[in-house]
Amino acid sequence: TGLSVTARILDATYEIGRTCSDTFRDVKDRFIRHDCVNGQWNYLVDPNGFAC
What is the value of pTM for the model shown? 0.44
CB-side neighbour CA atoms (13 Å) of 45? 3
Chain-centroid distance of CA 38 in Å reads 14
Q: Where are the domains of the chain?
A: 1-41
pLDDT at 9: 86
Q: What is the pLDDT of residue 52?
A: 52
Question: Which tens digits make up the pLDDT trace of 22-36?
Answer: 888 888 888 888 888
Cα(first)–Cα(last) distance of the chain, in Å? 31
**Per-residue model confidence as pLDDT tens digits over 1-52:** 788 888 888 888 888 888 888 888 888 888 888 888 887 788 888 888 876 5
* Rounded Cα distance, 10 and 15, in Å: 14
Instruction: Give me the pLDDT at residue 50, please.
Output: 72
